[in-house]
Amino acid sequence: MVLHKKGKLGAGISSMKNGASKATPLPDITLDDIGGLPEEMKDEIHQTLSIIKDPVRATQLGIQAPKGLLLYGPPGTGKTLLAQAIAHEIGATFYSSSGSAFTELFVGVGASRVRTLFQNARKHRPAVIFIDEVDALAGKRKEHGGEESEKTLTELLVQLDGGNDNEGILFIAATNRKDMLDEAFLRPGRIDYTFNVPLPDTNGRREIIDIHTKGRLLADEVYASLDVLAESTSGFSGAELSSLFETASKRAVRDGRQQIDKGDLDFAIDRTILGSTSRALNDIDTKRRVAIHESGHALIAALTKPGSVRKATIIPRGQALGYVAPIQKELHLQTASELMDQVSMILAGGVAERLYLGEHSIGVSGDVQQAKDIIERMVDTGLYQDSFTLTFNKGEKEMKMQEIFGEAIGKTETLIRENAAQFEELVEVLFQKETLDGTEIQKIVDSKVVQLDELVVV
């Protein structure tokens, strides 16, 4: 039920190996084109740039111009953009490459590429040398292994060192795996400043959405929903947000429209999270089972957390035959009762199948695993509604998990039984229409006011 995000979108630069030492055309980009950077980081970058731009003044103040910067963070957060913007701000020629462009089987080839890269950059100062995925080149020596990679890294360290004339050369490295980097590479004088480029928070996502909607025509309804979009895309990177609007635009163009409408955006969100759609379900029995399963999730979500469902569908997408998409909120520290509601909602698909079809299907395996993980975390942290107790014994832990599982199943059954009319209505409408949006679901569920606290939990 709960959606899993796919792997990274918007991979970084891929350089052809033998092009590793050539200057790369620089897009017309400034720091303002990068959204979601923490204020403190922006200030530090501006300070760093002013030192680089005015080295004489910096020397008078006793400040050394930085030689190397490291940007680290999850994929698609704008590290490459940042390197480009920095090069642009200081009017530098941009040499961009990927760490893997220096890894070769032939001893000495990688090292000679590093040398050539620095030599070329020194001929065109000021220059920025940007190496993405630097962990492929500057990984920890003992783990990295191999004579060739050792030689290449040593050459990089030599080139970065003051022994060479590096005036007017700024080295910027980026990685998703800072923990993999060699200590010697990270030492000040080689890498002077390290910046974490995180996944954007709600405000950051809003800024990035603004950047990527500039120049696109959006329906009024879509404009009005951009704040909610920023809130509901927790965990999305800048690259994913950018791809969201690209996908939505393509769909609008495909349908001969100028404007991106709500349907385009919904389509793009689902596509980003789950992958492409498959054909609609033809087998009536399977379609009914999926409608019952998804209605189970949707009912419990709408009852325990009104307004939390974005949509429910029985049109297959990616690996899922159907799914209920939540409105994602910022991560917050969940309490025991919230986690119990979540477990109930996750198990509700299988429970609904059992109540209405007598047995559940293999389709619940992902749900069960997800519920089990949450229950295990609850037991491991002593997170119960009525007490804070830790269990250290394996057998006791299993018993506790079984107890919570049973409690969640009981609560789910009760909620479905108590709201049978709404549940059956949901199944029918979902079966007919195949996709329902959050407001339609909530309307059906709210059609009879249920007093949750009156329910007996078995």
Catalytically annotated residues:
294
**Minimal distance in Å, beta carbon 82 to ligand ATP?**
7
DSSP result, 297-329: HHHHHHHHSTT-EEEEE-S-BTTBSSEEEE---
Query: Residue 11, interface with ligand ATP (CB under 6 A)?
Result: yes
Which residue in the shown chain puts its C-beta closest to ligand ATP? 238
Query: Residue 35, interface with ligand ATP (CB under 6 A)?
Result: yes
**Minimal distance in Å, beta carbon 72 to ligand ATP?**
9
| CB-based contact 198:237 (threshold 8 Å) | no
Alpha-carbon radius of gyration of the chain = 27
Say how far apart CA 54 and CA 46 lie, in whole Å: 12
Query: Residue 180, interface with ligand ATP (CB under 6 A)?
Result: no
Query: Residue 34, interface with ligand ATP (CB under 6 A)?
Result: yes
Q: In what helix (H) or strand (E) does residue 54 lie, and over which residues does it extend?
A: none
Query: Residue 69, interface with ligand ATP (CB under 6 A)?
Result: no
- Write the interaction track for ligand ATP spanning residues 195-224; mark x where CB under 6 A is met and - where it is not: -------------x--x-------------
Query: Mutual orientation of helices 336-357 and 284-304 as an angle, nearest 10°?
Result: 150
Q: Torsion-angle region of residue 273: left (phi > 0), alpha (psi -120 to 50) or beta?
A: alpha
Q: Which stretch binds ligand ATP (CB under 6 A): 76-84, 134-142, 346-354, 436-444?
A: 76-84
Residue placing its CB nearer to ligand ATP in the complex, 139 or 326: 139
Say how far apart CA 53 and CA 244 lie, in whole Å: 37
Say how far apart CA 86 and CA 48 lie, in whole Å: 10
**Minimal distance in Å, beta carbon 64 to ligand ATP?**
27
- Number of helices (H), then strands (E), belonging to the chain: the values are 19, 8
Query: Residue 110, interface with ligand ATP (CB under 6 A)?
Result: no
Most distant CA pair in the chain, distance? 82
**Minimal distance in Å, beta carbon 239 to ligand ATP?**
3
- Write the interaction track for ligand ATP spanning residues 373-412; mark x where CB under 6 A is met and - where it is not: ----------------------------------------
Residue placing its CB nearer to ligand ATP in the complex, 193 or 431: 193
Query: Residue 81, interface with ligand ATP (CB under 6 A)?
Result: yes
- Write the interaction track for ligand ATP spanning residues 310-349; mark x where CB under 6 A is met and - where it is not: ----------------------------------------
Residue tagged 């919904």 (tokens) = 266
Residue placing its CB nearer to ligand ATP in the complex, 233 or 295: 233
Sign of CA dihedral 18, 20, 21, 27: positive
Member of 89, 104, 132, 418 binding ligand ATP (CB under 6 A): 132
**Minimal distance in Å, beta carbon 215 to ligand ATP?**
13
Query: Residue 99, interface with ligand ATP (CB under 6 A)?
Result: no
DSSP result, 253-306: HHTT-SSB-HHHHHHHHHHHHH--B-PPP--HHHHHHHHHHHHHHHHHHHHHST
| CB-based contact 221:262 (threshold 8 Å) | yes
Contact set for ligand ATP, span 223-282 (CB under 6 A) = 238-239, 242
The count of chain residues that interact with ligand ATP, using the rule CB under 6 A, is 22
Which tokens go with 210? 């603004």
Which among 284, 292, 289, 287 has a CA at the least distance from the CA of 420?
292
Query: Residue 176, interface with ligand ATP (CB under 6 A)?
Result: yes
Q: Which stretch binds ligand ATP (CB under 6 A): 31-39, 122-130, 251-259, 384-392?
A: 31-39
**Minimal distance in Å, beta carbon 79 to ligand ATP?**
3
Say how far apart CA 159 and CA 403 lie, in whole Å: 62
Which parts of this chain interact with ligand ATP (CB under 6 A)? 8, 10-12, 34-36, 75-81, 132, 174, 176, 208, 211, 238-239, 242
